[in-house]
Structure 1
Amino acid sequence: MQIAVIGAGALGSTFATLLARAGHRVTVTARGRALDVIREEGIRLSGGFGDTHCRPIALERLTETPDLTLVCTKAHDAEAAITDNASAINGSPVIVVQNGLDGVTTAARLLPDSECFGALTLIAAHYESPGVVRVTTAAPTYLGRDSGAADAATRHWQAVLGTAVPTSAEGNFVGAQWTKLVVNMLNALPAITGLSVQEVIDHPGLRRVMTASMREAVRVARARGVTFGQLQGLDDRRLRAFAVLPLWAGQLLPLRLRARMGAVPNQGSTLQSLQRGQVTEIDYLNGAIVRAATLAGISAPVSAVLTALVHEVEVSGISLTPDAVLARFAGGCR
C-alpha cells in the first residue's frame, strides 16, 4: 500500500519506518535539514521496536495521492501542514496521529472529501537528530473517530496499521482523546524543569502538582459531559473515582504510569520541542483544559499556571528548579 506520512519528527519517523518494514511503500514530508538527511541517509529507528533502517521517498510536500495519509505533526502545525498537502490528499483517507482534542475536526474541515480518523498512540519516541529516532516505550496505538462504535472503515485501517504497530479499533474515540489528554498532563512539568517524566514523578512536590493537573482535567471533562474512553488501563469509572480522591491518594495514578515507562528516561514530547528550539504544543494540552473549563463555566487554575510556565521557558530558554515551580503554586494544590 502507498502510505504518506506528513511530518518526520519522532512519531512520524517511527510510523514511517515501521510501515516500511511491514512492506508498505512510504513517502514522508519534511523540511530543511531533516529533508536533506532523510533523502541522503534514510531514517534509522532503534529501541523498543528493534533496530530498523528505511529509505522512504522524502518530499517537502506530496505530489501524488496516496492510499492512506498519516498526519504526524505537532498539533499547532497540523492546519498548515494539511493545507499545504490538501491538493494531493483531499479525497483519500487520513489518520491524524496527534495529541489534543482538535486534530480530527481540523482535518475534516480542511479535507471535506476525505474520511478522517484519529490515532492515539502511547509510543514514546525520542528524536535524537534528523533521521535518527529512538523508541523509549513500545506501546499500542488506538484508532477511531467520533463518539460511536468502531465502524467497518475504522477496523479496516486498524488492520493496515496493525501490520506495523500494535493497533486496536476504538469506539467512543472522543472519550479516548480525553483520557489521553489526562495522561498527557505528564508533559508540562518535564518541559518546565528539564527533568525526565520519571524524575518529575519521583519528586514529591512535583508529583503532587502533576496529580492535581490530572484531577483537574478529569473534573473539567466531567463538567463538559464527557464519557471517558478506555486507554492504558484507564476508563470512565476509574477516572471518575480518581476525580474525587484526596490528592495524596490520587498520586497513585502518576506512580502507576511511571511504572509502565521502565528505566529509559522519558522526556516527553513538550520538553523535546523545547530542546530543539521549537514552539511547544502546550496550548493543545494544558491549554485545551483551560479552554474547556471556560466553556463549562469553571476554572482550571493548575493548567493555567502550567501553560504560562511552559511559555515562560519557551521565551527564556531556561528551565526552572522544582522549588521555583512549587513557589508559583503559593496556595498549594488541593
Structure 2
Amino acid sequence: MRVTVYGAGAIGGYMGALLSKAGADVTFIARGAHLDAMRRNGVRVIRKEDEIVAHPRCTDDPSEAGPQDFVILALKAHSVPGVVEAMQPLLGNETGIVTAVNGIPYWYFHRHGGRLEGSTLESIDPGGEQWRRFGPERAIGCVVYPATEVVEPGVIKHVYGDKFPIGEPSGELSDRVQRFSALMADAGLRAPVLDNIRDEIWLKLWGNLCFNPISALTGATLDVICSDPGTRAVAKAMMLEAKAIADVVGVRFRVDVERRIDGAGAVGAHKTSMLQDLERGRPMEIDPLVTVVQEMGTLVGMPTPTIDTVLALVRQRAANAVRH
C-alpha cells in the first residue's frame, strides 16, 4: 500500500513512522532541518513504553513519489491552500486524501445534502481551489486525537492517544475506508470508521473554537480557562453559538456543553496548539478553527456575537505578534 504523509511533522510523522514499521510503502513530504534529519537517520518516535525508528522515503518533492493509494494530509490547516499545486503528482484516479487536519475540511458540504450541498468555504478554501484541484470525491474525513511533539529534528515524542476516527463524507462503509482503517490497525493505531464523521469533526472543533483563541489571548492553560468563571463563560457562549449553527446543518453532539468544557479542563495544565504556535512565533490556525464557524453562521443566518468578538481580538493578537 503506497501512502504519502504530506506534512510529516509531529502528527504526520507519528502516523507515518508506525505505518512504515508495519510494512506500508510510506513517503514523507517534509522540509528544512526536520527533513534533513529524517533523511540521515530515519524518524525516531519516543513513546512511554518504547522507541521506534522508521526509515520511510523522505523528500520535499512530491513528484518523486508518484500516484499514491492514500495521501495523509497532516499539515496545519492554514498551510493546505499553499500546497494544492505541489500535491498534484500524488493524485491518481483512485487516490484517497485523508484530511488529518484541525477544523472544518474543504470537502465539508460534499454529499451533505440540503441547500448547502456543494458549497465551498472561503475562509478555509479560498476560491474553492482545494475543492476543484483535490476533488471532494477523494476525501476521507479524519479527526486527530493524539498529542505529539517534534522535540528535535527527526525526533517525535508521543504524549498520549492513538485514536484517529475516519469516515466517508457520504457515511458509506466503502472498501477504501475499510482498507485504510485496517492499515492503521496493522500499525497499532485505532481508526474506527464512523457513519457520520462530521459529528466527530464538530465535537473536536467545539473545543478548539473557544479554548484555542482564549488561551492565545490570555496565556492560560486548559485547566485555568475551564475553571475560571469568566473565561469559562466566554467559552460556553462561543460553544452555544456554534451549536446553533451545527444544529441547522444536521450535527448531533453526544455530550452537552458543560461536559465538553469539564472534559477539556480535566486534561490539566495543557497549552493549546494556538498558544504554542504564538509562543514559537508561528502562524496560528485562526481561520480553520474560528473564522470558518463565523462563515458558516453567515451561511445559515445564525448570529455569532461572542465568536465575532473573540475572533477580532485574536486576529489583532496575531497581527501584533507579527509586528513584534
Q: TM-score range by the shorter chain?
A: 0.7 to 0.9
State the alpha-carbon separation in 2 of the partners of residues 255 and 112 from structure 1: 38
Task: Tell me the amino acid that sits aligned with residue 17 of structure 2.
Answer: T
Contact 2:2 2:69 in 1 (8 A): yes
Task: Tell me the amino acid that sits aligned with residue 306 of structure 1.
Answer: V
Query: How far does residue 97 in structure 1 lie from its aligned partner after superposition?
Result: 0.6
User: For 1:174-213, what aligned pairs fall within 5 Å after superposition?
Assistant: 174-185=198-209, 186-213=211-238
Say whether 1:127 aligns with 2:150.
yes
Aligned to 1:326: none
Query: How far does residue 226 in structure 1 lie from its aligned partner after superposition?
Result: 1.9
Contact 1:187 1:268 in 2 (8 A): yes
State the alpha-carbon separation in 2 of the partners of residues 4 and 297 from structure 1: 39
Contact 1:70 1:95 in 2 (8 A): yes
User: For 1:136-285, what aligned pairs fall within 5 Å after superposition?
Assistant: 136-164=159-187, 165-185=189-209, 186-222=211-247, 224-228=248-252, 234-235=253-254, 238=255, 242=256, 250-259=257-266, 261=267, 265-285=269-289
5+ residue gaps, structure 1, are 229-233, 243-249, 319-334
Aligned to 2:113: none
Query: How far does residue 4 in structure 1 lie from its aligned partner after superposition?
Result: 0.8
Q: TM-score when scaled to structure 1?
A: 0.79
State the alpha-carbon separation in 2 of the partners of residues 282 and 72 from structure 1: 17
Query: How far does residue 78 in structure 1 lie from its aligned partner after superposition?
Result: 1.3
Aligned to 2:73: 71
Contact 1:150 1:169 in 2 (8 A): yes
State the alpha-carbon separation in 2 of the partners of residues 29 and 87 from structure 1: 12
Structure 1 pair 148/26, CA: closer, same or farther in 2 (3 Å)? closer
Say whether 1:93 aligns with 2:99.
no
State the alpha-carbon separation in 2 of the partners of residues 32 and 210 from structure 1: 37
Query: How far does residue 132 in structure 1 lie from its aligned partner after superposition?
Result: 2.9
Q: Give the secondary-structure state (helix, strand or coil) at the position aligned to 2:35.
A: helix
State the alpha-carbon separation in 1 of the partners of residues 49 and 276 from structure 2: 20
Q: Give the secondary-structure state (helix, strand or coil) at the position aligned to 2:166.
A: strand
Contact 2:44 2:52 in 1 (8 A): yes
Task: Tell me the amino acid that sits aligned with residue 218 of structure 1.
Answer: K
Contact 2:149 2:156 in 1 (8 A): yes
Aligned to 2:315: 311
Task: Tell me the amino acid that sits aligned with residue 132 of structure 2.
Answer: R
Task: Tell me the amino acid that sits aligned with residue 261 of structure 2.
Answer: P
Identity across the alignment (%): 25
5+ residue gaps, structure 2, are 109-124
Query: How far does residue 16 in structure 1 lie from its aligned partner after superposition?
Result: 1.5
Structure 1 pair 87/116, CA: closer, same or farther in 2 (3 Å)? same
Q: Give the secondary-structure state (helix, strand or coil) at the position aligned to 2:143.
A: strand
Contact 1:108 1:115 in 2 (8 A): no
Contact 2:223 2:264 in 1 (8 A): no
Say whether 1:289 aligns with 2:293.
yes
Deviations 1:101-153 (A, max 9, x none): 23346655313497321111211223334333323221411111214343332
